[in-house]
Amino acid sequence: MTEQTEKMIFRENDFEPLPMDEAAAEVIARKQTTYAKDVWRSFRKNKAAVISLVAISMLVLLVIFGPMMVPFDYYTNDYEVVNQPPNAVHWFGTDTLGRDLWARVWVGGRVSLMIAIIGTLLPEVIGLIVGGMSGYIGGKVDMIIMRLIDILMGIPSLIYIILLMIVLGSGNILTLIIAVSITGWMGSARGTRGLVLQIKNRDFVTASETLGASPTWVIARHLLPNAMGIRVVSITLTIPSVIFYEAFLSYIGLGVAPPNPSWGQLIKAASEVFRYYPYQFIIPCLFISLSMLCFNLIGDGLRDALDPRLRD
Amino acid sequence: MSQDKLLEVKNLKVSFRTYAGTVQAVRGVSWHLEKKETIAIVGESGCGKTATIQTIMGLNMQNPICSKEGQVVFDGKDLLTCSEKQMRDIQGNDMSIIFQDPFTFLNPTMKVGDQVIEVYCRHHKATRREATERLLEMMRLISLPDPEKNIKRYPHQLSGGQRQRIMIAMALICGPKILFADEPTTALDVTIQAQIIELMKHLKEQIDTSIVLITHDLGVVANMANRVYMMYAGQIVEHADARTIFKNSKHPYTRALLGSVPRVDQKTEGGLFSIPGSPPDLIDPPTGCAFAARCSQAMNICKRLQPPEITFPEPEHKVCCWLHHPEYKARKKAVGVGERHE
Amino acid sequence: MNDQPLLELQGVKTFFRIKKDILKAVNGIDLVIHRGETLGLVGESGCGKSTLGKTILHLYKPAEGKVLYKGRDIWTYSKTERKLYARQVQMIFQDPYASLDPLMVVHECVAEGLNIHGIYTPKERYEKAIELLEQVGLNKEHANRFPHEFSGGQRQRIGIARALALEPELIVCDEPISALDVSIQAQIVNLLRDLQEKKGLAYLFITHDLSMVRQISDRIAVMYLGSLVELAHSDNLYEHHRHPYTKALLSAIPIADPDVEAKRQRILLSGDVSSPIGIDQMCSFCKRCHYATDLCFHEKPLLREVAEDHFVACHHLDQVDKNGGR
């Protein structure tokens, strides 16, 4: 309560009635903001996440334009210049067959990143549909789908991959993408189902049902959009593990066949000469680690930005 | 009279820095609590009552976005200048708080008996046996049925009313001088609410605790409080003893609020009175009286300047409203119009 | 005057299976709601009133009994008829913070029903949404904002606008004001009354707030653990109530008047609201009732008419009356 002195100066009309403006009482003072703007604002505050975002963008640019920056291609052998460390001509040096590593790293990056991104998005879409239906419809449908997933997940993924290799032919990108998707959709379905179970009990979903909405409407208009936030975080955090998985498969010989490079291929080739020419090994490792780290930090940042408890 | 003042809050201001601006949650409130009494701080959501209590209890100390001004005098010390350790010694011991939702307050992985003992042992050196004895004594005081069995239960195994009793036991086991009760009955069923209110009144006598009741439920206030402070938009707008507030309130907000509360023993023909609009956003509080935009009797000066505190001759009745300022009365007399009767 | 009631419940029972137990949320309810009237349904948590509301809305199928809308059992509807039912009976929800999709803009929320039923073009739907917002006291500026930018009272009004969009005849209000501030509660109740007058709506007003329900209801039903214990016209219930639970409930409600509070004698019920699992052939209230005898534990009392349009379910009304309700 304010304490005021006795000597106050009052104006002529001070004690006349103030006309009440009812509409003024309903005005929303704050600026309009969308969910996306809110999330971006929170995300921006996380320096690590922002730096990672910039780093990944630069990586993508390099992966696309990098090979064009040098006059060399990624597959021509040149026995005059084998095993050269990084220098002014070959910025990353050359490998055991004289191939320019700069070009190989970036072309390899195209393969690795493409497998990682498509190999994450494709199963995610499948998982969203399956998990969304399973979670919303519930009952027997849910039980059958979940038990199926349980069984399929119990089989080691390498078995699928080897089988696929036999059927589709080994060594090409398509096979790898399919292989990764077949194992990936199940995790996505489970995750989506869990989210849908939480969301479907909220009143706005019941409201939609009472308005006469069909299950498809509810899933497409309410459940999936509200689950997307968390699924995007999941996608961002899955990509690094797929990058690594591709590298692992290449390393054990099930990945992309030479001379097509991928980061995993490069590491495998370099591991044989690691003792003498460590740069051949270190450079692709560096980029794999960097991209994995950045995606993880972006995913973390997104998760924090989306957390409703941390929002104002 | 100040010897009897257990707690005195002087011009307390609390603000929170948010992305949209600084929210001035509490804008200069002053009140006091005497021994052996129950006061109620009444207001709706957003009025600042919870922020006030949390600040007094030291729950806002580690919050980096919170800034405070003013004084809170308890036991000869200004609580706002106390260290964290000093506050921790006071919390649960000299001052306790019970909250609205006992379920989120209790640790779901600990037996309830252990949780109550934990509070006791934090402040007193006692053997396991002494602590358990005190615990059972407390259980009897709160009328928990089957105490020996129930102290070994987990919170989810008890009912809502029982959990609230456990929370009360935790708050009172060290015999605090002040109990803050933040909406203690809002989340409870009506018949349980009645039980808890009776329990609190009974315990107040037994343990000689003064109670600060924070609520928006005027019925509970009528039942429990000796004196009442009405809060709106971070300020105290009226203060008097309970009977005066209900029978002879002077602030338009108090009167409007009383008018909008339905009574189970009366039917209001023609609908309840309702206050149009919503409380102001405290990021940008209005320059004048915060209630002016919704007040049917607002005047030009209400928008321009904040009303001063005006004291009435009855025992401790204070209002912050221009309608009761001597200048207003003088002008109306001069014009020949009688006092506006609300 | 069309005498056929709008909604009629005949012996409705809704059960849920929880692991091995059966939760009898609604355990035999007979009720009638007429055009344009408000029936208040009161009870504490766990009594089954929300479940009953959702059963009426075709969201839960009754294990036994019938829900008749304009004389027809709603579970005999074809798929199209079921969709049309949404244009007759609508719902307002308790939690204003959960009842609106946080990703949908206000006018989309309000017009969702119209969108689902393919009524109007998108532009017309937008216009209609604005019209509805104005009817509930909001305006055009609010149409493009998101729910989280509004206060609880405003969100509740958006929910009401959404329910009105399909022009229903009956609206089930499931605790529409419990989560709101006192002064806003009055706003919403007044709004509901106005809309009822203008549009001839019928309401089933579900709440635990006995003080508020008196202001809006024509008749009131008191529910305990899945069964009705008393049903009467509004004023009748408050002045001449007879069931021991009703008496305890009314005496427990605090009144905003210190003189009255000081003089009141409360009937304090022992124990807590009992669990609705496992009750069967007995009075739902017997475990907490001061007057319970062996009979009460073995035979469920039926709702009997004790005065004009006043029904009570109790074996020992004479005892209760003798004691003056203590």
Q: Looking at residue A297, which CATH number applies to its domain?
A: 1.10.3720.10
> How much is the pLDDT for C274?
67
Average pLDDT over residues A94-111: 90
Name which residue leads in pLDDT, B61 or A88: A88
How buried is residue A174: exposed, middle or buried, by Cβ count under 10 Å (0-12/13-18/19+)? exposed
Q: Where are the beta strands (DSSP E) in C43-165?
A: 64-69, 72-73, 89-92
Is A273 a member of any domain? yes
What residues in B contact C260, CB-CB < 8 Å?
222, 265
Judged against a pLDDT cut of 80, whether residue C279 lies above it is answered with no
H-helix segments, chain B: 49-56, 84-90, 102-105, 112-123, 128-141, 147-150, 160-172, 190-207, 218-224, 242-248, 252-260, 300-304, 326-335
C158 reaches A (C-beta below 8 A): no
Is A251 a member of any domain? yes
- Provide the β-strand partners of residue C15: C24
pLDDT (tens digit per residue) in A108-145: 999 999 999 999 999 999 999 999 999 999 889 999 99
Nearest to B308 among A2, A24, A41 (CB): A2
Give partners of B (≥3 CB pairs < 8 A): A, C
Distance separating the N- and C-terminal Cα atoms of chain C: 42
Fold of C7-88+168-322: Rossmann fold (3.40.50)
Nearest to B271 among C190, C238, C271 (CB): C190
Nearest to A17 among B235, B277, B299 (CB): B299
How far B228 CA lies from chain A's nearest CA (Å)? 15
- Provide the β-strand partners of residue A17: B299
> Residue A143 is part of which domain span?
40-82+90-310
Would the CB atoms of B191 and C44 count as touching at under 8 Å? yes
> How much is the pLDDT for C308?
87
> How much is the pLDDT for C129?
95
What residues in B contact C259, CB-CB < 8 Å?
243, 247
Is A28 a member of any domain? no
How far A46 CA lies from chain B's nearest CA (Å)? 15
Is B95 a member of any domain? yes
Angle at C270 between CA C266 and CA C276, to 5 degrees: 120
> How much is the pLDDT for B141?
87
> How much is the pLDDT for B1?
43
How far A201 CA lies from chain B's nearest CA (Å)? 20
β-pairing, B235-241 vs B227-232, is: antiparallel
C-alpha B133/C-alpha C12 separation (Å) is 51
Nearest to C215 among B190, B268, B276 (CB): B268
pLDDT band at C277 (very low <50, low <70, confident <90, very high): low
**How do the domains of chain C map onto residue ranges?**
7-88+168-322
Would the CB atoms of A206 and C112 count as touching at under 8 Å? no
Q: How many structural domains are present in chain A?
A: 1
| CB A120 within 8 Å of CB A235 | yes
pLDDT band at A30 (very low <50, low <70, confident <90, very high): low
Cα atoms in the Cβ-side hemisphere of radius 13 Å centred on B82: 23
Contacts of B337 (CB under 8 A, 6+ apart): none
Contacts of C266 (CB under 8 A, 6+ apart): B194, B198, C251, C252
Contacts of A174 (CB under 8 A, 6+ apart): A168
| CB A32 within 8 Å of CB C149 | yes
The 3 state secondary structure assigned to C233-296 is: EHHHHHHHCCCHHHHHHHHHCCCCCHHHHHHCCCCCCCCCCCCCECCCCCCCCHHHCCCCCHHH
C-alpha A274/C-alpha A253 separation (Å) is 18
Nearest to B309 among A3, A21, A25 (CB): A3
Nearest to C253 among B192, B258, B264 (CB): B264
Is B156 a member of any domain? no
Is B340 a member of any domain? no
Would the CB atoms of B276 and A16 count as touching at under 8 Å? no
Would the CB atoms of B223 and C154 count as touching at under 8 Å? no
| CB B301 within 8 Å of CB A9 | no
- Provide the β-strand partners of residue B97: B180
Query: In angstroms, what CA-CA distances link A289 with A184, A201, A282, A284?
Result: 21, 41, 10, 9
Q: What is the DSSP string of B217-273?
A: -HHHHHHH-SEEEEEETTEEEEEEEHHHHHHH--SHHHHHHHHHS--TT---TT---
Would the CB atoms of A212 and C83 count as touching at under 8 Å? yes
Is A21 a member of any domain? no
> Residue B207 is part of which domain span?
2-104+175-335
pLDDT band at A218 (very low <50, low <70, confident <90, very high): very high
> How much is the pLDDT for C2?
57
Q: In this predicted complex, what is the ipTM?
A: 0.88
> How much is the pLDDT for A26?
63
Distance from the Cα of residue B24 to its chain's centroid? 18
> How much is the pLDDT for A312?
42
C-alpha C75/C-alpha C289 separation (Å) is 37
Distance from the Cα of residue A15 to its chain's centroid? 64
- Provide the β-strand partners of residue C305: C311
> How much is the pLDDT for C59?
92
Judged against a pLDDT cut of 70, whether residue C325 lies above it is answered with no
Is A35 a member of any domain? no
Judged against a pLDDT cut of 60, whether residue A311 lies above it is answered with no
Is B148 a member of any domain? no
C-alpha B273/C-alpha B250 separation (Å) is 17
Would the CB atoms of A22 and B276 count as touching at under 8 Å? yes
Q: Please give the single-letter amino acid code of residue B283.
A: I
Is A5 a member of any domain? no
Residues in chain C: 326
Buried b (16+ CB within 10 A) or exposed e, A10-19: eeeebbeebe
Q: How many structural domains are present in chain B?
A: 1
Is B306 a member of any domain? yes
C139 reaches A (C-beta below 8 A): yes
Average pLDDT over residues C154-177: 95
A217 reaches C (C-beta below 8 A): yes
Judged against a pLDDT cut of 60, whether residue A70 lies above it is answered with yes
What residues in A contact C162, CB-CB < 8 Å?
207, 211
> How much is the pLDDT for A159?
86
Is B253 a member of any domain? yes
Give partners of A (≥3 CB pairs < 8 A): B, C
Percent of all residues in chain C with a pLDDT value above 70, rounded to a whole number: 95
Name which residue leads in pLDDT, A72 or C207: C207
How buried is residue A129: exposed, middle or buried, by Cβ count under 10 Å (0-12/13-18/19+)? middle
In chain B, which stretches have pLDDT less than 50? Answer: 1-2, 338-342
Lowest mean pLDDT among A37-51, A121-135, A195-209: A37-51
> How much is the pLDDT for C87?
93
Average pLDDT over residues C209-233: 91
- Provide the β-strand partners of residue B335: none
Phi, psi of B271 (to 5 degrees): 90, 160
Secondary structure letter of residue A2 according to DSSP? B
Lowest mean pLDDT among A78-82, A92-96, C275-279: C275-279
Would the CB atoms of A209 and C159 count as touching at under 8 Å? no
Which of B113-127, C254-268, C290-304 is predicted most confidently?
B113-127
**Greatest alpha-carbon span in chain A:** 100
Average pLDDT over residues C246-250: 89
Q: What's the token pair of residue B278?
A: 């919503």
Is A211 a member of any domain? yes
Is B51 a member of any domain? yes
β-pairing, C310-312 vs C304-307, is: antiparallel
> How much is the pLDDT for A78?
84
Contacts A–B by Cβ distance under 8 A = 78
C-alpha C18/C-alpha A253 separation (Å) is 52
**Peptide bond before residue A259 is cis, with ω within 30 degrees of 0:** yes
Nearest to A26 among B20, B236, B277 (CB): B277
C-alpha C9/C-alpha C66 separation (Å) is 6
> How much is the pLDDT for A3?
44
Is A267 a member of any domain? yes
Is B200 a member of any domain? yes
Q: What is the DSSP string of C126-194?
A: HHHHHHHHHHTT--GGGTTS-GGGS-HHHHHHHHHHHHHTT--SEEEEESTTTTS-HHHHHHHHHHHHH
> How much is the pLDDT for B13?
93
Q: Please give the single-letter amino acid code of residue B114.
A: D
A43 reaches C (C-beta below 8 A): no
Q: Which of C208, C257, C95, C52 is nearest to B188 (CA)?
A: C208
> How much is the pLDDT for C123?
93
C-alpha C192/C-alpha C216 separation (Å) is 9
C101 reaches A (C-beta below 8 A): yes
- CA nearest to B246 within chain C: C257
